[in-house]
Amino acid sequence: MALLPIPFTGSVSALQHVMNLYEQLLVVRERLEGIGAHDDSMDLVEKLLKKSEAAKHDRTSISQVQVMRHMMRMPEVIDNYNVYNDLQELSSERDEMETSAREDAAPAAYEDTERRPKPKSFYRSRKEKEKEKKKGTGN
């Protein structure tokens, strides 16, 4: 039984934990196409995809951050400003997405998050109600 690739239908960060190198490079290629990257960038990704075809069905997981960092250190990237700038743009997009996700997860500033103890009268009335309940069920 062959494993079918998971179609990309959502955010990159949601899938990064279950994708191997080949699949991550496919996502990088799609993102580069989306930003209208330079031909040199596309050629580099195609070259890396050809090299990683052997790992197409590999179960080793690799994050997109690792792939991007590795690509940023390659001599082809360091020597070519167009490729370097395209990869920097992808990295900054990713950072912005993570930052916005963290901001969305944080509670709104206008929400009251301060804990206030209940007054003693609240506990007295609750105790009285419990006593009345016990008296009513005890008879």
* Lowest mean pLDDT, pick from 86-90, 108-112, 134-138: 108-112
Contact call for residues 98 and 65 (beta carbons, < 8 A): no
Helix 39-51, helix 81-105: angle, nearest 10: 80
Average pLDDT, the chain: 81
% of the chain surpassing 70 pLDDT: 81
Other beta carbons within 10 Å of 45:
23
Residue 42 binned pLDDT confidence (cut-offs 50, 70, 90): very high
More confident of the two residues 76 and 111 = 76
**Digit-coded pLDDT (tens) for 3-41:** 444 444 444 444 445 788 899 899 999 999 998 989 999
Please report the pLDDT score of residue 79 as a whole number.
92
Helix 81-105, helix 21-35: angle, nearest 10: 100
Residue whose pair of structure tokens reads 């290629």 in the numeric block: 29
Output the CA angle 55-31-70, nearest 5 degrees.
50
Residue 127 binned pLDDT confidence (cut-offs 50, 70, 90): very high
Q: Residue ranges of the domains in the chain?
A: 1-107
Whole-angstrom Cα distance, residue 64 to residue 13?
Answer: 8
